[in-house]
Chain A
């Protein structure tokens, strides 16, 4: 009996080793979780284009650790429930790490699933502060955080001399966090908050909200929500003949905003954002933009898709340097040893929390033809 057991065990061990080796030589699966459908589909689809292109380039150069890379993408639909399902799907497909996702509430729904499965996650657009305050060991993000965004926003509001401010958010993790943070900062600076409330995303008619806001008579409105609602607000504000200046958070940074609002209504809209793809100064970025344009016929429109690309590139760098896909070692490397990595969006390093260090928000403004112009 004992002997049979031993023989079986031996076979099992050998079998596992052989199977394991065979798996090691197959393609390395890297997960991409993004909003391919839903309100933020234009972000997710571009994320996939960027990561696919980078993986293609990498494979043409022989891959990583002698293995090809396979990008497994899952749709989170811009919805927390769908994201939890997508995360579980990616976990069962044994991806070595996950890039994404865009919205903070969506990332939050998937964070613990990846962390428990020991899969490093590198988010690309989730700027909510609390995501990295939970002590999760395998969570990183290539985008900056909202406390920095609020700081830049508050500075801009003061520099423009606005004394009465209306703040409108949409109750998502990101928008509410940014709204609260900004409120605290500008109140300290002596700006009066005359309006602070939330809209319901996904609706079409926001005139009731705008009318109420108009009655509070603010010097400017700071909207911290996303671009689909931002575009509608601008359009309906124009329809009401209310010339108040609007300022947006970095989630309004998408060309679809102008499409929805119409260039005439969007003109003069100012928003905070990391530098847009077209304003990226590094040679890496220029080369990348060129090859992207060559493959897809247009330059990437959103900075978040490029940040997803940076997530992919630091991950590959970490795997190459540690010569393993083990989450602990890759995570350790990203936390402590990766310094000033030449990212597409500038120099990249992570602190102990997994936050990117040293990125600066910029202020952009929409001009008459509807282009986003970097403000000095």
Chain B
């Protein structure tokens, strides 16, 4: 039982990061029917920007650990959101009227561009976050040992997801996003500025991705320019698992994928961890082709 709970917390921490990234994929797909392949690289940029700001501004030293991290997170989210909006402007908006395949190719190109840009700016070696920003002390809880950072990451991810959910469901802008996702033409006729909605989607998605990047840096300490690929793939899988285009689906899918991975590693085989996760995905897609919470039939890209 103790091991089960320990593995559950391991899975939840990994899963909450998958979920944050998956939100970016799913929001863009919901509105544009486009898989934003560059999203994983925005996540990488988030972790690198976090490292730069952390070491150059020494926020944690000036404001204390928690306030410093909070301030840092806001700055990283803001900057990555800006890059996301810029990406939309340069790589996707000119192709809005073209066949969908062109936009997908453009997304792949943007991904390669961003990944190599990070490599050229920061170098190909691993970069390491300072080890002393957050207390590494494990939290002893019912015989479980959970590092404090992990709990913070989990809580922060959940808070951000809740905030996003409320924003989408309760505000006027959120309603506009949902309307644009259902039918762009009709939304335009109802007086919704669809271009603005898309811009907002490209601000929120990358901001969450950037926050996830910062969390990975703080949690694991080690970042490299190719890590967006692994996390991007897993998050994309999570988005499909939950039903792509569906925001609660991405959250559920991400957390579920993390837990499946941890449980697969714990009770079956570690080496087959990814295979187990993908088998579960295949089974779910056979039973529910639209994903766990997906309602619309997914269109082919």
Task: Report which A residues bind B (CB closer than 8 A).
Answer: 36-39, 41-42, 45, 171, 197-200, 202-205, 207-209, 211-212, 215, 228, 231-232, 235-236, 238-242, 256, 259-260, 262, 264
**In the complex, are the beta carbons of B3 and A211 less than 8 A apart?**
yes
Q: Do A38 and B270 form a contact, CB below 8 Å, given A204-B216, A212-B265? A: no
Contact of A41 among B125, B266, B271 (CB under 8 A): B125
A199 to B136, CA, bound (A): 24
Which A residues are CB-close (under 8 A) to B10? 205, 207-208, 211
A171 to B3, CA, bound (A): 25
Which B residues are CB-close (under 8 A) to A242? 145
Task: Give, as a whole number of angstroms, the nearest-CB distance from A258 to chain B.
Answer: 10
Q: Do A203 and B265 form a contact, CB below 8 Å, given A209-B270, A240-B138, A259-B128? A: no
**In the complex, are the beta carbons of B128 and A199 less than 8 A apart?**
no
Nearest neighbor of A235 in chain B, beta-carbon distance: B221
Which A residues are CB-close (under 8 A) to B262? 207-208
**In the complex, are the beta carbons of B126 and A256 less than 8 A apart?**
yes
A259 to B130, CA, bound (A): 9
Task: Give, as a whole number of angstroms, the nearest-CB distance from B3 to chain A.
Answer: 5
Q: Do A208 and B271 form a contact, CB below 8 Å, given A42-B125, A232-B220? A: no
B131 within 8 A of A: yes
**In the complex, are the beta carbons of B266 and A212 less than 8 A apart?**
yes
B161 within 8 A of A: no
A206 to B273, CA, bound (A): 11
Nearest neighbor of A259 in chain B, beta-carbon distance: B128
A262 to B219, CA, bound (A): 13
A-B interface, 4 closest residue pairs, ranked by CB to CB distance from nearest = A262-B131, A37-B124, A239-B147, A41-B124
Task: Give, as a whole number of angstroms, the nearest-CB distance from B17 to chain A.
Answer: 8
**In the complex, are the beta carbons of B222 and A228 less than 8 A apart?**
yes
Q: Do A208 and B125 form a contact, CB below 8 Å, given A171-B271, A197-B269, A198-B270? A: no
Contact of A37 among B13, B119, B220 (CB under 8 A): B119
Within 8 A of A (CB), among B214-238: 216, 219-222, 224, 226-227, 230
**In the complex, are the beta carbons of B125 and A256 less than 8 A apart?**
yes
Task: Give, as a whole number of angstroms, the nearest-CB distance from B267 to chain A.
Answer: 9
A50 to B93, CA, bound (A): 48
Q: Do A212 and B270 form a contact, CB below 8 Å, given A228-B222, A232-B222, A241-B138? A: yes
**In the complex, are the beta carbons of A240 and B147 less than 8 A apart?**
yes
Task: Give, as a whole number of angstroms, the nearest-CB distance from A228 to chain B.
Answer: 6
Which B residues are CB-close (under 8 A) to A198? 270-271
**In the complex, are the beta carbons of A199 and B216 less than 8 A apart?**
no
Can you give 15 contacting A-B residue pairs, CB < 8 Å?
Answer: A42-B126, A198-B270, A204-B219, A205-B219, A208-B261, A208-B266, A211-B266, A212-B266, A212-B270, A235-B220, A235-B221, A238-B136, A239-B145, A239-B150, A240-B138
Task: Give, as a whole number of angstroms, the nearest-CB distance from B209 to chain A.
Answer: 15
**In the complex, are the beta carbons of B7 and A208 less than 8 A apart?**
yes
B14 within 8 A of A: yes
A239 to B149, CA, bound (A): 9
**In the complex, are the beta carbons of A197 and B124 less than 8 A apart?**
no
B11 within 8 A of A: yes
Q: Do A208 and B11 form a contact, CB below 8 Å, given A37-B119, A38-B226, A199-B270? A: yes
Contact of A260 among B136, B219, B222 (CB under 8 A): B222
Task: Give, as a whole number of angstroms, the nearest-CB distance from A113 to chain B.
Answer: 24
Nearest neighbor of B231 in chain A, beta-carbon distance: A204
B6 within 8 A of A: yes
Which B residues are CB-close (under 8 A) to A36? 124
Which A residues are CB-close (under 8 A) to B128? 259-260
**In the complex, are the beta carbons of A39 and B270 less than 8 A apart?**
no
A38 to B230, CA, bound (A): 14
Which B residues are CB-close (under 8 A) to A199? 270-271
Which B residues are CB-close (under 8 A) to A171? 271
Which A residues are CB-close (under 8 A) to B131? 262, 264
A198 to B261, CA, bound (A): 14
Which A residues are CB-close (under 8 A) to B126? 39, 42, 228, 256, 259-260
**In the complex, are the beta carbons of A209 and B226 less than 8 A apart?**
no
A203 to B271, CA, bound (A): 13
Which B residues are CB-close (under 8 A) to A256? 125-126
Most chain A C-beta atoms within 10 Å of own C-beta, residue among B119, B145, B221, B224: B221
**In the complex, are the beta carbons of B266 and A204 less than 8 A apart?**
no
Give 1 or 0 for each of B185-228: 1 = CB within 8 Å of chain A CB: 00000000000000000000000000000001001111010110
Which A residues are CB-close (under 8 A) to B224? 39, 228
Which A residues are CB-close (under 8 A) to B136? 238-239, 262, 264
7 new A-B contacts, CB < 8 A, other than A205-B13, A212-B7, A259-B126, are: A202-B227, A205-B219, A208-B10, A208-B11, A208-B266, A242-B145, A256-B125
Contact of B138 among A38, A211, A239 (CB under 8 A): A239
Within 8 A of A (CB), among B224-270: 224, 226-227, 230, 261-262, 265-266, 269-270
Which B residues are CB-close (under 8 A) to A202? 226-227, 230
Q: Do A262 and B221 form a contact, CB below 8 Å, given A197-B271, A208-B266? A: yes
A197 to B145, CA, bound (A): 23
A216 to B3, CA, bound (A): 11
Which B residues are CB-close (under 8 A) to A235? 220-222
Nearest neighbor of A197 in chain B, beta-carbon distance: B270
Which A residues are CB-close (under 8 A) to B138? 239-241
Nearest neighbor of B267 in chain A, beta-carbon distance: A212
Most chain B C-beta atoms within 10 Å of own C-beta, residue among A38, A208, A260: A208
A264 to B137, CA, bound (A): 12
**In the complex, are the beta carbons of B222 and A204 less than 8 A apart?**
yes
Task: Give, as a whole number of angstroms, the nearest-CB distance from B199 to chain A.
Answer: 31
**In the complex, are the beta carbons of B226 and A231 less than 8 A apart?**
no
